[in-house]
Amino acid sequence: MPAASAKSRPRKGLRPSPWAARRRPRHEHALKREAVIVAAAHAFRERGYHNTSLDDLAASLRVTKPTLYLYVPNKEAILFECFRAGLAQIQASLDESERAEGAARERLFAFIRGYAAAIVGDFGWCMLRAEDQHLGAAMSRRIKLLKAGIDKRMRALIEAGVADGSIRPCDTRMTAFALAGALNWMGHWYREDATLKPHDIAERFIDVFNRGLRGQD
């Protein structure tokens, strides 16, 4: 299979295509597969899942559709990979917070910063706005399990805070939902050209959740 249309010149507004460069063969397949997933995530965000065809995707990468099939079997599998890549970023931030030292409340807030970054990242839109309904039953179940795992670990972090006294006793499940909701909603309103960067937004949210809104009583 010729890594073919590699010869086409980069067009304005398109990201560099890894098909255009020569790389060490052992990394090449993984790298190109990743490029397919990222390009798809961007296309889904721009046009919606249903309005994006594999032809569009191939065109945006300047390859043929048969070339795409070397890396992914179909559109559903790509969406699954987008979900998974986004959730993996959140999991990585959880790993870090779980391993860190210090009061659980501070570790929860560090996680909030990582979560906010993931939401505005490449896969945020897919993770939040693409419907699980677009996935078949088996894939949808796997995504639900991944999400439930994140929710459980987030709740455990809040429970650890209640245990070490850094978080006051609260309904940990509802607190986790409130936090996740505030963060996930960023996927609906956040725009890259906004003055507040993800980190600033996370700090504002942390302030609200840390101190509450109550003024004088």
Binding a copy of itself by CB under 8 A: which of 15, 47, 141, 152? 47
C-alpha distances (whole Å) from 42 to each of 8, 30, 110 are 21, 19, 27
* Closer of 18 and 198 to a copy of itself (Cβ): 198
- Residue 107: count of CB within 10 angstroms of its CB: 22
Q: Which segment (11-19, 26-34, 84-92, 127-135) binds a copy of itself by CB under 8 A?
A: 127-135
Residues in 1-20 at the binding interface with a copy of itself, rule: CB under 8 A: none
Binding a copy of itself by CB under 8 A: which of 28, 56, 162, 197? 162
Q: Is residue 204 part of the contact set for a copy of itself (CB under 8 A)?
A: yes
* Closer of 35 and 180 to a copy of itself (Cβ): 180
Q: Which of 69, 70, 67, 121 is nearest to 92 (CA)?
A: 121
- Residue 196: count of CB within 10 angstroms of its CB: 11
Q: Is residue 60 part of the contact set for a copy of itself (CB under 8 A)?
A: no
Binding a copy of itself by CB under 8 A: which of 48, 102, 136, 149? 48
Q: Is 145 left (phi over 0), alpha (psi -120 to 50) or beta?
A: alpha
* Closer of 33 and 134 to a copy of itself (Cβ): 134
Q: Is 64 left (phi over 0), alpha (psi -120 to 50) or beta?
A: beta
The nearest distance, CB 172 to a copy of itself, in angstroms, is 10
Q: Which two tokens stand for residue 112?
A: 């909030």
Size of residue set near a copy of itself by CB under 8 A? 45
Q: Which two tokens stand for residue 163?
A: 């245990």
Answer yes or no: are the C-beta atoms of 92 and 193 closer than 8 Å. no
Binding a copy of itself by CB under 8 A: which of 11, 12, 99, 168? 168
Residues in 70-99 at the binding interface with a copy of itself, rule: CB under 8 A: none
Amino acid at residue number 97: S
Residues in 175-194 at the binding interface with a copy of itself, rule: CB under 8 A: 175, 177-186, 188-189
C-alpha distances (whole Å) from 80 to each of 110, 114, 127, 135 are 27, 22, 9, 7
In the complex, the residues that contact a copy of itself under the rule CB under 8 A are 47-48, 50-51, 105, 129, 131, 133, 158, 161-162, 165-168, 170-171, 174-175, 177-186, 188-189, 196, 201, 204-205, 207-216
